[in-house]
Structure 1
Amino acid sequence: MLHLRLITPSEKTDDVVLLIEKTVGTTHLVVLPGAARDPAGDVVMCDVAREAGDELLKGLRELGIDTSGSIAVETIDLSLSERAEKAEADAPGEGADAVLWEQLTEATHEESTLSVTYLAFITLATMIAACGVVLDNAILIVGAMAVGPEFGPLTGICTAIVRRRPRLALRSLIALLVGFAAAMALTVVFSLFMDAAGLFTEAQLEADRPNTGFIYAPDWFSFVVAVLAGIAGTLSLTSAKSGALVGVAISVTTVPAAANAAVALIYGDTNQTLRSTEQLLLNLAGILLAGTLTLLAQKWLWSKQRR
């Protein structure tokens, strides 16, 4: 179940209440006339089954509540109510299959913003991966994968394509490209420092690396894994099962490939630089393709299920 807290202008409250009452899957409707002060208006609260949430949010936005008032949505972890159970039973479809497009768009908008925190995480992840490739340490590679925040912008691009939001697509693309470019550039500087300190050597990079050699060996399996990870990651976001994202993060070779390219660059190893870059692009393409097709499939299946 979802809990909605709305601030509505007094002249629109009746329309909002009517919309809530005629939406199948809503319950626990509360109206507090004149309770809101900033902005001034009425406070309307209700619970709605997840599978009916997107339709209700769309109707509220059509009434202009998002501009003239406020719409806040929270997930209810526990609701002991027969009315809530009946609302979920009456709502068409299954809650686990429902996609809250407004929530997904807002979440990806935040995750795909080029911020100092985002740049810090992707840079630190790339530097950790650089240590991993030089030491041939798989644990460091897995750690770097888990730290990397690149799935946010990738999901933002997929969502923007499906929802036709060019501004979100541009924001996500900038975050993705600038993030990786900055991380690789700073990792080059980091690698030069480590080389000067005697902690990185060309011999380590060129040695046989059984644990991390796959990073600069792109093949069809790399693309297949990226596609599968893209599907799993998209499903985890749309179904609010964010715990699966950790597994997705350590399934794709994006950050390690960027790190390997950066380290190889300082030693003039063109082959490793190019093949690592190819691995990076192959993984990004697989995730973007899978994420977009997954969202399109969910949109189509949900529309059929509701009909």
Structure 2
Amino acid sequence: MLHLRLLVPADRTDEVLQLLEKTVGTTHLVVLSGASRDPVGDVVMCDVAREAGDGLLARLREMGLDRTGSIAIEHIDLSLSRRADRAADEAPGEGADAVLWESLTDATHEESTLSATYLAFLSLATMIAACGVVLDNAILIVGAMAVGPEFGPLAGISTALVRRAPRLAWRSLLALVVGFAVAMVLTCGFSYFMDAVGLFTENRVEGPRPNTSFIWQPDWMSFVVAFLAGVAGTLSLTSAKSGALVGVAISVTTVPAAANAAVAFTYGDYAQTWGSSTQLVLNLAGIVIAGTLTLATQKLLWARHGTLPAAR
């Protein structure tokens, strides 16, 4: 279930109430007349089944409530109510399959913003992965994968392609390209420093690394894994099951590939640099393609329920 809190101009309250009362999947309707001070108006609250949420939000935005008032949404973890159960049963489809496009766009917009925090996490993840590839330590590689925040911009590109939002696409692409460029440059500097103090050596980089050699030897299996991880990650975002993102993060060698490319470059091993860069591009492309196809499929399957809320 979702909880909606609406700030409504007083002259539009009756219109909003009529929409909410007629929409299948809504319940627990509350009206606080004159309670809103900024903007001035009424506060209207209700609970709505997740599967009816996207259509209802579309209608509220068509009414201009996002401009003249406010629309706030919260996820309800537990609702002990027969009315809520009945509302969920009456709403078309299954809540787990529903996509809240406004929520998804907002989430990917935030996750794909090029910020100091984003650059710090991506750079730190790449440096951790650099230690992992030099030491041939799979545990460090997995840890670096979990730290990396690159799935946000990848999901942003997929969302932008499906929703035809060029600004989100460019924002996400900028975060992805600039983020990896900065992380790899800093990792090169980190590698030079570690070599100077004797912690990184060329023999370790050029020697046999059975646990991490796959990072710079891309093949079609790398693309298949990236594609499957992209599907799983996209489904976890649209179904609000964020726990699955951890598994996605440690499935695809994006950050380790960038790290291996940077370390190999510092030692002049351009074969490894090229192989790692190819692995990086292959994995990024696999996730974007998978995410775009997954969202397009969900949009197509959910279209049979209509974009507008069903009447009672």
1:278-289 correspondence runs (5 A): 278-289=278-289
Which 4+ runs in 1 deviate beyond 3 A? none
Structure 2 runs not aligned, ≥5 long: 308-312
Structure 1 residues 65 and 305, CA gap change in structure 2 (3 angstroms):
closer
1:36-115 correspondence runs (5 A): 36-115=36-115
Q: Is the 8 A contact 1:24 1:90 kept in 2?
A: yes
Q: Which residue of 2 aligns with 1:277?
A: 277
Quote the Cα distance in structure 2 between the aligned partners of 1:123 and 1:18.
Answer: 52
Q: Which residue of 2 aligns with 1:117?
A: 117
Quote the Cα distance in structure 2 between the aligned partners of 1:174 and 1:246.
Answer: 24
- CA deviations on 1:207-236 (whole Å, 9 max, x unpaired) are 100000000010000000000000000000
Q: Which residue of 2 aligns with 1:135?
A: 135
Q: Which residue of 2 aligns with 1:154?
A: 154
CA drift at 1:51 = 0.2
Q: Does 1:166 align with 2:169?
A: no
CA drift at 1:304 = 2.4
**Match for 2:301: what amino acid?**
L
Q: Which residue of 1 aligns with 2:21?
A: 21
Quote the Cα distance in structure 1 between the aligned partners of 2:304 and 2:22.
Answer: 21
Structure with the bigger RCO (C-alpha within 8 Å, sep 6+) is: 2
Quote the Cα distance in structure 1 between the aligned partners of 2:9 and 2:174.
Answer: 38
Quote the Cα distance in structure 2 between the aligned partners of 1:49 and 1:93.
Answer: 10
CA drift at 1:306 = 5.3
Quote the Cα distance in structure 2 between the aligned partners of 1:269 and 1:34.
Answer: 70
Q: Which residue of 2 aligns with 1:205?
A: 205
Q: Is the 8 A contact 1:92 1:306 kept in 2?
A: no
Cα RMSD, aligned residues only: 0.9
CA drift at 1:12 = 1.3
**Match for 2:251: what amino acid?**
S
Q: Which residue of 2 aligns with 1:222?
A: 222
Q: Is the 8 A contact 1:93 1:306 kept in 2?
A: no
Q: Which residue of 1 aligns with 2:249?
A: 249
Quote the Cα distance in structure 2 between the aligned partners of 1:305 and 1:231.
Answer: 23
CA drift at 1:127 = 0.2
Identity, % of aligned pairs? Answer: 76
Q: Is the 8 A contact 1:105 1:156 kept in 2?
A: yes
Structure 1 runs not aligned, ≥5 long: none
Quote the Cα distance in structure 2 between the aligned partners of 1:15 and 1:2.
Answer: 21
Q: Is the 8 A contact 1:6 1:69 kept in 2?
A: yes
Q: Which residue of 1 aligns with 2:235?
A: 235
Q: Does 1:178 align with 2:178?
A: yes
TM-score by length of 1: 0.99
Q: Which residue of 1 aligns with 2:310?
A: none
- CA deviations on 1:44-69 (whole Å, 9 max, x unpaired) are 00000000000011111111111111
Quote the Cα distance in structure 2 between the aligned partners of 1:12 and 1:120.
Answer: 46
Q: Which deviates more, 77-86 or 225-234?
A: 77-86
TM-score by length of 2: 0.97
Quote the Cα distance in structure 1 between the aligned partners of 2:46 and 2:186.
Answer: 49
SS of 2:41 mapped into structure 1: strand
Q: Which residue of 1 aligns with 2:193?
A: 193
- CA deviations on 1:127-165 (whole Å, 9 max, x unpaired) are 000000000000000000000000000000000010011
Quote the Cα distance in structure 2 between the aligned partners of 1:172 and 1:67.
Answer: 26
Q: Would you say how many aligned residue pairs link Structure 1 and Structure 2?
A: 307
